[in-house]
Structure 1
Amino acid sequence: MKQKIIETIESYDQIIIHRHVRPDPDALGAQAGLAQLIKEHYPEKNVYTVGDEEASLQFINKMDEIKDEQFSGALIIICDTANTERISDERYVKGDKIIKIDHHPNEDPYGDVIWVDTSASSVSEMIYELFETWQELKGMQMTKEVARSLFVGIVGDTGRFRYPNTTERTFRYAAELMKQPFSPVELYEKMENKSLNMARLEGYILNNFKYLENGVGTINLSNDLLQEYGITTSEASKLVNTFSDVEGLKAWVFFVEEPDQLIRVRLRSKGPTINGLAQNFNGGGHPLAAGASVHSWEEAKLVLNELQQICKNHKV
C-alpha cells in the first residue's frame, strides 16, 4: 500500500493535502510533514495544505489559500480523518483521486486508495513509515523541517510518549527524527504554552469537575462560561486531560458548548472502551480517546449515563 501511495503521488503534478477540522498536532504534523517531503523531493509538483486554521498551532504549519479550480484534476490526500464529515475544506470532492491515510478504525472507508493502521500511535508515525519506503525505493533523505513536523505530531498524539498507543516502533521513529537539528525542547514549549485566560480556566475545571461513581469524571463548559474567560471552544477542548491524573479515575468526559449551542463531547479513558459510545452520538475515534457531538444538555446527560455504565461493567 505504501508503494502504491508513492506511485500515485508521483503520477500527479497537483496535490492537495487535507486533514480533520479543529486540527491537533498530529493532524497538522502529518499534513505538513507529507507536504514537505513531496515539495523537497519533487520540486516540479504543486503541493498545497488546506483546512481551518488553529492559531495556537500555526508554529507547525500555516494553510495555503487556493481557488476552487485548483482542485480540478488534483490528487487529494486526507490525513488523520476517520470519516468524511470531519474533513476540513469540503472542496476535496472536486479532486480527481483521494488517498486516505489514517490510524482510526476504518468505519468510513472513503477514498480510492486507503491506508489505515490502527496500531500506529499517530498518522505522523505512518508518514515516517512512508518515508522509509520512499527512502528504500528512491533514496529519499530526511530533512530538518520534515522531521520537526512529524516529531511534533507523534509527541502530540502520544501525550509525550505517555499514552498506551506508544510502542517500541514509536520510540524508534522518534529517535531517528531527533537526528535532525531541530529543538524538541522548543517544540514542547510551544505546544504547552497557555494564555493567562487558559490557566484560569484550567483552575476553574480543577475546582468544579465532578467525580462520579464507577470512576467517571465530567465537566460542563457552557458557551457563557467560555465567553467569561475569553476562551474559544477549540482552546477549551485542549484542557481535556486537566484532571486525568486523579486517583481512581477510569474515564472522563468534557462537554464544551459551541456558540451555536452544539455541544462537543471529548471522551478519554484509562481502560474502558469508549469509541462505541462516541459512535452512538455522531462521533467516533480510538478505543481510549474519542469525540462526539450532542444538541442539548439533556442529550449530554445520556452520554454521561452511558459512560457510567461502561465504567461500571469494565473489568480490570
Structure 2
Amino acid sequence: MIKEIQEQIRQYDTIIVHRHERPDPDALGSQLGLVKLIKERYPDKHILAVGENEPSLAFLGMMDKVDDKLYNDALVIVCDTANTARIDDKRINQAKYVIKIDHHPNEEPYGDLVWVDTAFSSTSEMIVEFYIQGQEEGYTLSSDAALLLYAGIVGDTGRFLYNNTTAGTHRRTAILVEQGFNQTEFYTKLHKKDLKMSRLQGYVLQNFTIVEGVGVMRLTREDLEKFSVTSNESSQLVNAFSDVEGLRTWVFFVEEQDQIRVRLRSKGPVINGIAAEHNGGGHPMASGATVYSWEEADEVVAKLVAVSK
C-alpha cells in the first residue's frame, strides 16, 4: 500500500493534504509531517496543507491558502479522518485522485486509495512507517518533520500512557527522537496554559461529578463565556480528572450554539459503540460524539454506567 501511495505522489506535481476539522496534535502532526516529508523528497512539487488554523496548536504550523483551480489536477491526501463529514475543507471532490490514510476503524472507505490500519497508535505513527519504507525511494527525515510526527504520537497515546502504545510505537518514536529536536521545548508549548485555561481547569475539578464510576463534566455556553474559552480550547481539559480513583470511564460535554460536543474516554470498557449511537465514533477507549439536548446527554451517561459495570 505504501508503495502505491509513493507512486501516486511521484506522478503528481500538486499535492494537497487535508485532515479532520477541529484538529488535535495527531491530525496536524500527520498532515504537516507528511507535507514536510514530501517537500524534502520533491522540492520542485507544489505541496500544500489546508484547513482551519487551530490557535492552541499554532506552534506546530499554519495552513496554506489554496485556490480552487489547483484542485483540478491535484492529488489529495486526507490524514486521520474516518469519514468525509469530518474532513476540514470539503473540496476533495474536485481533486483528480484522493488517498485516505487513517488509523480509525474504516467505517467509510472513501477515496481512490485507502490505507487504514487500526494497529497503529496514530496516523502520525503510520507516516513514520511511510518514511521508513520510503528511504529506499529517497525520502529523508528532518528534525522539523520528526517533531511534527512526534507531536501526533504523543497526542494520541496520551504521552505513551494509553494501551494503544505498542513496542512498534516506541521503535518508531525512537527514530524521531534520534533527529535531535528539543523535546523539553515541545512539551512546554504543548502543555502551556494561559490564565483563563488554568482557571477553567480549577472550575472543572471543582464541578465534575461521579455517577456510578463514570466521571461527568458539563460545560455550558455560559461557562465558556465566563472563562472566555472556546469549545476547541476546552478539549485540553478532557483528562483533567481522569486519574481520580475508581473511574472506569468519563465524559466531557461542551455546549455549543446548536449542539453539545461529547468527548468520551475509558480505562477499559469499549465506548466507541456509544459514540456511534450518537452521531460519532472513534477508538475503543477514546471517542467523540454529538448530542442535541441535555436529556440526550443523560442517555450517554446512562450507557457509560452500563458498560462500566
2:82–2:106 contact (8 Å) kept in structure 1: yes
Aligned ranges for residues 156-305 of structure 1 at < 5 Å?
Answer: 156-213=155-212, 215-258=213-256, 260-305=257-302
Distance 2:239 2:54 in 1: 19
CA deviation after TM superposition for structure 1 residue 29, in Å: 0.6
CA deviation after TM superposition for structure 1 residue 52, in Å: 1.1
Distance 1:139 1:71 in 2: 26
- Which SS does the other structure have where 1:3 is aligned? helix
1:19–1:79 contact (8 Å) kept in structure 2: yes
- Which SS does the other structure have where 1:248 is aligned? coil
Q: Which amino acid aligns with 2:179?
A: Q
TM-score (normalised: structure 2): 0.98
* Match of residue 95 from structure 1: 95
**Identity across matched positions, percent:** 55
Of 175-184 and 23-32, the range deviating more from structure 2: 175-184
Q: Which amino acid aligns with 2:182?
A: S
CA deviation after TM superposition for structure 1 residue 91, in Å: 1.1
Distance 2:128 2:27 in 1: 14
Q: Which amino acid aligns with 1:302?
A: E
1:30–1:150 contact (8 Å) kept in structure 2: yes
- Which SS does the other structure have where 1:271 is aligned? coil
**For structure 1, which runs of at least 5 residues remain unmatched after alignment?**
none
CA deviation after TM superposition for structure 1 residue 19, in Å: 0.3
Q: Which amino acid aligns with 2:216?
A: T
Distance 1:219 1:308 in 2: 14
1:216–1:250 contact (8 Å) kept in structure 2: yes
- Which SS does the other structure have where 1:244 is aligned? coil
* Match of residue 40 from structure 1: 40
Is 1:12 aligned with 2:9? no
Distance 1:105 1:168 in 2: 21
Is 1:145 aligned with 2:144? yes
1:197–1:230 contact (8 Å) kept in structure 2: yes
Deviation string for 1:22-47 (max 9, x for gaps)? 00011101001100011111011101
1:261–1:296 contact (8 Å) kept in structure 2: no
Distance 1:301 1:261 in 2: 17
Distance 2:70 2:58 in 1: 23
List 4+ stretches of structure 1 deviating above 6 A.
none
Q: Which amino acid aligns with 2:180?
A: P
CA deviation after TM superposition for structure 1 residue 295, in Å: 1.0
Alignment length (residue pairs):
309
Distance 1:92 1:19 in 2: 11
Distance 1:299 1:147 in 2: 42
2:38–2:139 contact (8 Å) kept in structure 1: no
Q: Which amino acid aligns with 1:262?
A: Q
CA deviation after TM superposition for structure 1 residue 11, in Å: 0.8
Q: Which amino acid aligns with 1:89?
A: D
CA deviation after TM superposition for structure 1 residue 67, in Å: 1.1
CA deviation after TM superposition for structure 1 residue 261, in Å: 2.8
Deviation string for 1:86-138 (max 9, x for gaps)? 000011111111100000000111111101110101111000000111103x1
**For structure 2, which runs of at least 5 residues remain unmatched after alignment?**
none
CA deviation after TM superposition for structure 1 residue 245, in Å: 0.2
CA RMSD between the two structures: 0.8
CA deviation after TM superposition for structure 1 residue 146, in Å: 1.0
Aligned ranges for residues 61-72 of structure 1 at < 5 Å?
Answer: 61-72=61-72
Q: Which amino acid aligns with 2:205?
A: L
Distance 1:296 1:4 in 2: 45
TM-score (normalised: structure 1): 0.96
* Match of residue 308 from structure 1: 305
- Which SS does the other structure have where 2:265 is aligned? strand
2:262–2:289 contact (8 Å) kept in structure 1: yes
Distance 2:141 2:52 in 1: 28
CA deviation after TM superposition for structure 1 residue 140, in Å: 2.3
Q: Which amino acid aligns with 1:129?
A: E
Q: Which amino acid aligns with 1:228?
A: K
